[in-house]
Structure 1
Amino acid sequence: MIIVIRGFEVVSKYSGEKIILPKRATKNAAGYDFCAAEDFIVPSVWKKNFVKILWSRFHQKKLTAADYVEAQEELRPFLVPTGIKAYMQSNEFLLLANRSSNPLKRSLILPNGVGIVDADYYDNESNEGEIFFQLLNFGLKDLVIKKGERIGQGIFMPFLLAENEKEPLAQREGGFGSSGK
């Protein structure tokens, strides 16, 4: 009997697309570097509607609800696909973190700070468990990420349960952002 501990696979959507499996860059690196599965443009947040909001507020001009909706659309993070899914033990998760060089060199941040990939995200029916990095570009220009460029890192981590937790909650019924619904 083979016991599978943890690792990475390419999702079927990218089968045959020469997707790079995450790997550690150095012997003592904690994080596995994830690469973009395809060319991707991360637009700058400094677009017309967002700047309009800042200008109007600074000059105490009246804004409409539509102005805010249009500006918010430009401030949203973008999901950069990796083409990768991760399998792990039920008492582990994969912590997704930004590369330390991304904010300084590329003006890219993870707006949620870190991402959490639960063990039951693997092979979910919505997206097969594909991992995406949520990125926000605070640079002045749109940023082009090329297929194969490193965009973030993942670290396998164990977690503990509270001793008085009642038996399991619900089963996962979706992909990205589906837990807790």
Structure 2
Amino acid sequence: MLTLAPTLELKVLDPRLHDWGLPRYQTELSAGIDLHACLDEPLTLQPQAPAVLIPSGIAVLMNDPHMVAFLLARSGLGHKKGLVLGQAVGTIDADYANQIFISAWLRNPPGSEPLTIQPGERIAQLVFLPILRPSFELVEEFGATTGRGLGGFGSTGV
């Protein structure tokens, strides 16, 4: 079962990270570690252009079925500059052991200013969470229900 503070294996695939800063929590209460754009030259993203995969320079092995890592946008870049992830949230499974890539997309409307990402810039964050892996029992009808039925998508009001 997942421990509250597990030790994970982290592989540095880009030696520049030793100068830029190894993945770490930026404050005592940060939820995620920041990931750097391991680019060889600046990359300019155009508004609404297709997402681009940017190497993070690291690989992490969780190797625990009760753990997952979510790749998320950094809030400041998303809010102030429009930089978000191409798939909104990236899921890193516990058995994935290859380099983590950041799918970067500039959500701003066409005609807006482009955004240039510099090599070594912190552009995303990786958050580790516990995960439940329930087993399933096939049934014809549910046993006890909440009475909510087939509602959803606003069925309880706005």
- Residue 141 of structure 1 deviates from its aligned partner by 2.8
1:111 aligns with 2:110: no
Q: TM-score, normalised by structure 2?
A: 0.69
Of residues 150, 166, 180, the one that matches 2:122 is 150
Work out whether residues 36 and 82 of structure 1, in 8 Å CA contact, stay in contact via their aligned partners in 2.
yes
Deviation of 1:118 after TM superposition, in Å, equals 0.9
Q: CA shift at 1:7, angstroms?
A: 4.3
Q: 1:40 to 1:134 in 2, by over 3 A?
A: farther
| Equivalent runs, 1:113-152 vs 2, <5 Å | 113-122=88-97, 129-139=98-108, 140-152=112-124
**Distance across 1 between alignment mates of 2:107 and 2:58:** 26
> Aligned-pair RMSD on alpha carbons?
2.1
Equivalent position SS for 2:95? helix
1:5 Cα offset (Å) = 3.1
> What's the CA shift string for 1:101-121, capped at 9, x where partnerless?
112222211132211111221
By how many angstroms is 1:142 displaced?
2.7
Letter in 2 for 1:85: A
2:146 aligned residue: none
Structure-2 separation of matches of 1:156 and 1:80: 20
In 2, Cα distance between equivalents of 1:109 and 1:144: 13
4+ runs deviating over 6 angstroms: none
Q: Paired residue for 1:34?
A: 35
150-159 vs 102-111, which moves further: 102-111
Is the CA contact (8 Å cut-off) linking 1:96 and 1:153 kept in structure 2?
yes
Give % identity. 30
After superposition, the C-alpha distances for 1:46-96 in whole angstroms (9 at most, x for unaligned) are 6xxxxxxxxxxxxxxxxxxxxxxxxxxxx3111111111111132211111
TM-score (norm 1): 0.61
- Structure 1 residues 25-104: aligned runs within 5 Å: 25-38=26-39, 39-45=41-47, 75-91=49-65, 92-104=67-79
More strand by share: 2
How far apart, CA to CA, are the structure 1 residues paired with 2:101 and 2:117? 14
Unaligned runs of 5+ residues in structure 2 are 1-5, 138-158
How many residues were matched structurally?
125
More helix by share: 1
